[in-house]
Amino acid sequence: MRVVREPEPDGNGRQVPTTAIFLDASTCPIGCSMCDLHQFTVDAPTPLGSIPDQIRQALAGSDQNGWVKLYNSGNFFDPRSIPPDDYREIAELCTPFERIIVENHPRFGGRRMQRFQKFLRQPLEVAVGLESVQPRWLARMQKKMTRDDFDQYASELHRQSADLRVFLIVGVPGVTVAEAIRWARLSVRHAVRCGARHISLIPARRGNGWGNSIDPLPQLSLDDWQEMQRAAIQDADGAASVTIDLWDFESENPQMERLREVNLSQQPDPKTHAVEH
């Protein structure tokens, strides 16, 4: 278990202190080809009480305000990873926070999500790895879902009054920088149409090996990232915050500060937009 504290845009010009807790939990059964999160999981089912214990330890002695992310390197509503009998205690531990953000795959747990929501006093946001709307790329990632599956899940979240956060991977092995950016922008537009409140653009990494592909990943420069960030925010047209995952970037580069500033300064229109399919 590790903890990261950093500000995040709330979509209305405010920077919200956010506590991200990376929980030690059972391995995700999906096995996406680009994902490296399996390194931080365990093979056995997560023991009952382990997740609340980790949250309690992560929050000890810290300010409990703003938002909290409960990321388990898999799917929050997979009972092998997060035991449902822990839901009540998890919710109680997170009571001081304004928003709870979890990650999940559309294959898992609509009814379990409803059960968890009954214990919450604040909004629930579910982060979903759409990754790309390019169907061949989605198949290469071995996501075990289609774009239609994502769309249906987005609609279900909307019906259950849960907010949607979307993760998008920029590029796959063997494509050009221009193609990676083009499909990232198309994916941003699709995520917005599906009601995303926040969209995170993530640089493609070797991860789980991409099916042993030997093709190189597209290497975007910081100039490329800046231009894509500007264009993607324009594509979102005020309906969602669009940020770039900066964790793997060189922090000393002056352009990094500009990317970070744009991540935090977005002020989308807080209007309610319909989920379209």
Query: Quick one: pLDDT band at residue 204, thresholds 50, 70, 90?
Result: very high
**Average pLDDT of the residues in 159-175:** 97
Rounded to two decimals, what is the model's pTM?
A: 0.92
Q: How many residues does the chain have?
A: 277
Cα–Cα distances in angstroms (integers) from residue 162 to residues 42, 46, 56, 157, 265, in the given order: 28, 25, 24, 5, 24
Q: Note the pLDDT of residue 250.
A: 60
Which one, of 75, 133, 83, 137, lies nearest residue 106 by Cα?
Answer: 75
Query: Quick one: pLDDT band at residue 277, thresholds 50, 70, 90?
Result: very low
108, pLDDT greater than 80: yes
**Is the separation of the CB atoms in 225 and 208 below 8 Å?**
no
**Average pLDDT of the residues in 195-212:** 92
272, pLDDT greater than 90: no
- Beta-carbon contacts of residue 94 (< 8 Å; ≥ 6 apart): 55, 68, 70, 100, 120, 122
Cα–Cα distances in angstroms (integers) from residue 206 to residues 18, 86, 164, in the given order: 28, 34, 26
Q: Note the pLDDT of residue 130.
A: 97
Query: Quick one: pLDDT band at residue 252, thresholds 50, 70, 90?
Result: low
276, pLDDT greater than 50: no
Query: Quick one: pLDDT band at residue 197, thresholds 50, 70, 90?
Result: very high
Half-sphere exposure of 100 (CA within 13 A, CB side): 22
Query: Quick one: pLDDT band at residue 274, thresholds 50, 70, 90?
Result: very low
Q: Note the pLDDT of residue 228.
A: 94
156, pLDDT greater than 80: yes
Q: Note the pLDDT of residue 119.
A: 98
Q: Note the pLDDT of residue 152.
A: 97
Place of tokens 């909307």: 158
**Average pLDDT of the residues in 111-116:** 96
Least confident of 112-116, 205-209, 249-253: 249-253
Which percentage of the chain shows pLDDT scores above 70? 94
**Average pLDDT of the residues in 92-97:** 98
Q: Note the pLDDT of residue 247.
A: 73
Q: Note the pLDDT of residue 18.
A: 97
Half-sphere exposure of 26 (CA within 13 A, CB side): 16
251, pLDDT greater than 70: no
Q: Note the pLDDT of residue 253.
A: 67
**Average pLDDT of the residues in 38-49:** 90
